Amino acid sequence: MSIIFSPSEHKEKVQDFFTELFSSYKNLPQDKKTSKIIHNITKDYGQEFWTKVSNPNESFYLDLLYHDPCLFEFFQIKTTKIITEALKINGTNIQFLPLQTEEFCIKAVISNPFALMLIKHQTESICLAAVSVSKSKREYSYKYFCLAMEPIENSILYYVKHQTEKICIEAVKNNGLELKYVQFPSLAICIEAVIENIESISIIRELFPEYLTDVIRIINNRSSKKLFYQSY
């Protein structure tokens, strides 16, 4: 299959190429399509696919990216615009950047908070961005995590390497059940967890019983009616 073409005609050729490729596997399950496509490009065409393109430019790679964001791994040109789009579409593309700047990392975790596990040097700002992602988006990201290996835990805080109280408070404010993954609990963290999700009181009772009495007392004092009894 000849794929030698000039920049002026690259868009149509790329579209035709991927249309044909996707059409070949349209009956495959969704989770098999990407791996099958990548397999064929790298095995059947290999570097020949990239080197035979006459002077590929930024637009060419953007076309490929919009067809399948997982192809970013094989790009020879990675401009700021290409990287930004790749991370916006699929945050786990951060693993294919040799230089993971804080700005790119924040974009990655906002797109997919589970990308946090792929970041080499986590900062507090990156972790705060990750744990602040909405629960609905987190669940979506967990379900469609674009890696060969699924996350071990359906938790963002679990992947924070150096937990601070600020990070933990933001995590439990967003999802009280994240309290289960707090390494160094405090009364403030426990209270915020219970405020967000009353069911997290059971986590306190099981894992952090030393805070149970104070949490019940403070929560009851803040409420117009008693939410808990001491014997909870």
Cα separation, 225 vs 181, in Å, equals: 30
- Burial class (CB within 10 angstroms; exposed 0-12, middle 13-18, buried 19+) of 205: middle
Cα separation, 167 vs 188, in Å, equals: 12
Query: What DSSP designation does 29 have?
Result: -
Cα separation, 3 vs 163, in Å, equals: 50
Q: Domain ranges in the chain?
A: 1-77, 98-157, 163-232
- Burial class (CB within 10 angstroms; exposed 0-12, middle 13-18, buried 19+) of 70: buried
- The length of the chain, given as a count of residues: 232
Picking from 148, 147, 91, 155, the residue whose alpha carbon sits closest to that of residue 119 is: 91
pLDDT class of 49 with cuts at 50, 70, 90: low
Distances (CA, A) of 30 to 73, 87, 93, 133, 222: 20, 21, 19, 25, 49
CB 178 within 8 A of CB 133: no
**Spatial CB neighbours of 55, under 8 Å, sequence gap ≥ 6:** 6, 7
- Among 59-68, 82-91, 137-146, 158-167, the least confident range: 137-146
Distances (CA, A) of 72 to 112, 215, 230: 16, 48, 55
Picking from 117, 86, 131, the residue whose alpha carbon sits closest to that of residue 104 is: 86
Predicted pLDDT of residue 150 = 61
Distances (CA, A) of 60 to 8, 71, 76: 10, 12, 11
More confident residue, 18 or 2: 18
What is the average pLDDT value for the chain, to the nearest integer? 78
**Using one digit for the tens of pLDDT, what is the confidence trace for 105-157?**
999 999 999 999 999 999 999 999 999 998 888 777 776 664 445 656 789 99
The four Cα atoms 216, 222, 228, 232 give a dihedral, to 10 degrees, of -10
**Is the overall model pTM greater than 0.75, yes or no?**
no
Predicted pLDDT of residue 162 = 97
Predicted pLDDT of residue 195 = 94
**Spatial CB neighbours of 107, under 8 Å, sequence gap ≥ 6:** 84, 87, 88, 91
**Using one digit for the tens of pLDDT, what is the confidence trace for 173-200?**
999 999 999 999 999 999 999 999 999 9
Per-residue pLDDT, averaged over 30-39, amounts to 50
Show the tokens assigned to 118: 């792929």
